[in-house]
Structure 1
Amino acid sequence: MTGIPALDTVALWAGIIAAIGGALAVLFRWGRNLRRGLRRVGQVLTDWTGEPGRPGVPARPGVMESLEDVRDRLGALDDRVAAIEHELHPNSGSSLRDAVDRVDRRTSHLDKNP
């Protein structure tokens, strides 16, 4: 029986091949998970910094540019709210509140029942 390998030798090589295959499978899964994680980090960084436009795809602003737009819109909204507040408080006679008070004074005698 010199031409046929011993059963122990075959079992040993089968175990080595199975161990190498298992290790490769584990490394493949770790690599795949690492690649997915790095892709997500890349997406976050792209969202943070923005993306320039290219043919057929519009530019995407980054977080800081978007926050500037929000700040500008809030500034405009502050101006509008200030104008509304001006109309709600009595001042030199030109506010809506002053007009309502004048109408109330002029019509207060109509409210009295005989």
Structure 2
Amino acid sequence: MTQAITNYGALIAAIAATVGLLGWLSHATRRMHRSADTVDRVARLLQPDDNSPGLAERLRVLEERTARIEAELHPNGGRTARDAIIRMERRLDELTGRPPANPS
């Protein structure tokens, strides 16, 4: 009887260890799958396809747009948005009789 209990105990321990190992393998597999999905998403962002440009092209376009906006914020003798705003402000000051807010 004691031998049978010992055998059943060893069998139960082996089953528990197997179930624990399968649970751990399942968890590890899910984590690897999520990691692979993340790597796949990043790879798709970097490479252009028919539906969208790649990340490098997107960054190039953003840098060009930013450069154009920055260029409009510095006076260059009359052609930028800032120059136009300064002209409108000066003309408004002349029409209203107010002293200029910024004499420069």
Return the TM-score normalized by structure 2: 0.66
Return the TM-score normalized by structure 1: 0.62
Alpha-carbon distance in structure 1 between the residues aligned to 2:4 and 2:91: 108
Rg comparison, structure with higher value: 1
1:45-91 superposed Cα distances (whole Å, 9 cap, x missing partner): 2431x3xxxxxxxxxxx413314533422321222222122222111
Runs of 4+ in 1 over 4 A off after TM superposition: none
Q: Which runs of 5+ in 2 are unaligned?
A: 48-53, 99-104
- What percent identity do the matched residue pairs reach? 30
Q: Which runs of 5+ in 1 are unaligned?
A: 1-9, 51-61
Number of matched residues? 92
Taking CA–CA contacts closer than 8 Å with sequence separation of 6 or more, which of the two structures ends up with the larger relative contact order? Answer: 1
Query: Quick one: which of 24, 27, 33 aligns to 2:18?
Result: 27
1:91 maps to what in 2? 76
2:86 maps to what in 1? 101
Alpha-carbon distance in structure 2 between the residues aligned to 1:33 and 1:24: 14
The alignment yields a C-alpha RMSD, in angstroms, of 2.4
2:101 maps to what in 1? none
